[in-house]
Chain A
C-alpha cells in the first residue's frame, strides 16, 4: 500500500495521528502513524535509532530522557508530517512528555478497568490533565492524559475519540507501530 505523502486537509474526514517512542536497549526510536478512521495507514514516519553516549548522559543529566523524547524525536517527526490528523494518540506511558505535535493536541491513552457502578458519565475528569472516558459501544473505559489543561478542549478530544472508537480499535495501531519499530530496529542492527 502506498504511503500518502500529499497533504490531506479535508476536515470532514477523520484522520487519527499516533505517536510512539520506543526504547530498545540504548536505542531510542520514534514514529508517527496517521491512519484513516478504520486504522488503515496513510502516513508512517520514523526516526533512525538515536543512541545517547556516555558523554551525552553526563552532559544532559536528568533532562536527557525529556530531551530525547520531545526535542530530538517528537519535534523532529512533527516537522515531517504531511497529513492532517485531528489529534495525536500516544501510549499512556508517554503522558509525561505530552505536548502538541504539528500543532495538534495529543493525548496518552490506556485501557482502564472501572466497575460500572463507579462510572459517572462518558467523561469523568479526575485530574487537571486526566480523565476517564467511556467508549459507548465497546463498553470499556479509557484513561486519557491530555497535552492541554483546557477542559473544553479535553471534552472535544474525548468526543472525537469516542467517535473514532465507533469505527476502529483506537489502541490497536499503537501495537502495530511498536511491531514496526522493533522490526526496523532489528534491520538497522543487521545493517
Chain B
C-alpha cells in the first residue's frame, strides 16, 4: 500500500527521478532506503457497535492532513461523504475503545524504490561420512563336528547324539487279535476242541473271543488279555542261551457257565524257529 502511495506522491509532486537503489546483496531480501520523513501522531476516532472475533470490522479513518489529498483521486474507496477512507480489517482482539492513532507521514521528497527479485537457488551441501562396519564371517569348516553358533543358538542343525537303552526291552509286546468272524469253521472247531481237552470246557459252553498268531509262549514271563480291545500284552523273559522256541496260535475262550476266560494255546498249530 505504501509503495503505491509513494509512487503517487512522486508523480503528484513532480519530483526528480529517484536514485537507483543499491542492489541487495541478500537473495530475496527486500531492502529499502530509509527516507527522511516526519511522523506525527494524530487521534483517530473509531465508531463501533458490537463485534466478535474474526469478524470483519469496518473502520473509518478521517485523515486530517498530509497524504489525505491523495485519497481524493481514489473515489472507489472513498467514504460516502468523500472525506474518509473505508476498509475492512479483521477483528483479532476486542478491547475497550480508545483513541486510535493515525500516523501522518510527510515526506519532503518522494523516492522510488525498486524491488529486485531473483530466483533463489538453494544448493544443498552434501555430507559424506565413511562408516566402517565390522562383520564377523563364520566359516563352516565341519558342520557336523563344529556347529556354528550365533548368540548361543546353532546356526545350522547339528548332529544329535545317539543313545542306546534297554528300555525298549522293558516295554510289553502288544498284539491284536485276528478277526474271529473270518476264521474258517474247521479252525474254530479245533480251538474249541483244544479248550475242551486242556481246560475241560465243553464245546457247547465255550465261546471263542480272540485268536492270536505266533505267540512265543515259552518265552513269555507275563501275559494279560485286554477284553475290551481284544489285545494281549506280554513281556519276554531273558534267556540268552535259548537258541530256539516254538510259536503257538493262542485262543481266548470264555466259559459261558462261569464266565471265566481261558487262554488256550493250540498244541498243533505251532512252529519251531531259531532265535537270532
Residues of A bordering B, CB below 8 Å? 1-3, 5, 8, 10, 13-15, 33, 36-50, 52-53, 55-56, 59-60, 67-68, 72-73, 76-77, 80, 137-140, 166-169, 172, 175-177, 179-180, 183-184
Q: Are A56 and B173 in contact (CB under 8 A)?
A: no
Q: Are A38 and B171 in contact (CB under 8 A)?
A: no
Q: A33-B168, A47-B160, A50-B160 are in contact. Are A168 and B174 (CB under 8 A)?
A: no
CB < 8 Å: which of A42, A55, A60 contacts B276? A42
CB < 8 Å: which of B161, B240, B247 contacts A2? B240
Q: Are A44 and B176 in contact (CB under 8 A)?
A: no
User: What is the minimal beta-carbon distance from A132 to any residue of chain B, in angstroms?
Assistant: 18
Q: Which residues of B contact A184 (CB under 8 A)?
A: 165, 167
User: At the interface, yes or no: B274 with Cβ under 8 Å from chain A?
Assistant: yes
User: At the interface, yes or no: B205 with Cβ under 8 Å from chain A?
Assistant: no
How distant is the Cα of A2 from the Cα of B239 in the complex, in angstroms? 10
Q: List 30 A-B contacts (CB under 8 A).
A: A2-B238, A3-B165, A8-B276, A10-B276, A15-B276, A33-B168, A36-B276, A38-B219, A39-B173, A40-B219, A40-B275, A42-B276, A44-B164, A44-B165, A44-B167, A46-B162, A46-B163, A46-B164, A47-B163, A52-B157, A55-B150, A55-B155, A68-B157, A76-B159, A137-B213, A138-B178, A169-B213, A172-B173, A172-B174, A180-B165
Q: Which residues of B contact A76 (CB under 8 A)?
A: 159-160, 162
Residues of B bordering A, CB below 8 Å? 150, 153-157, 159-169, 171, 173-176, 178-179, 182, 213-214, 216, 219, 236, 238, 240, 245, 247, 271, 273-276
Q: Which residues of A contact B160 (CB under 8 A)?
A: 47-50, 72-73, 76
Q: Are A50 and B157 in contact (CB under 8 A)?
A: yes
Q: Are A45 and B167 in contact (CB under 8 A)?
A: no
Q: Are B247 and A167 in contact (CB under 8 A)?
A: yes
How distant is the Cα of A137 from the Cα of B182 in the complex, in angstroms? 12
How distant is the Cα of A85 from the Cα of B185 in the complex, in angstroms? 38
CB < 8 Å: which of A38, A47, A55, A168 contacts B161? A47
Q: Are B168 and A80 in contact (CB under 8 A)?
A: no
Q: Which residues of B contact A67 (CB under 8 A)?
A: 157
Q: A39-B173, A53-B153, A55-B150 are in contact. Are A80 and B162 (CB under 8 A)?
A: yes
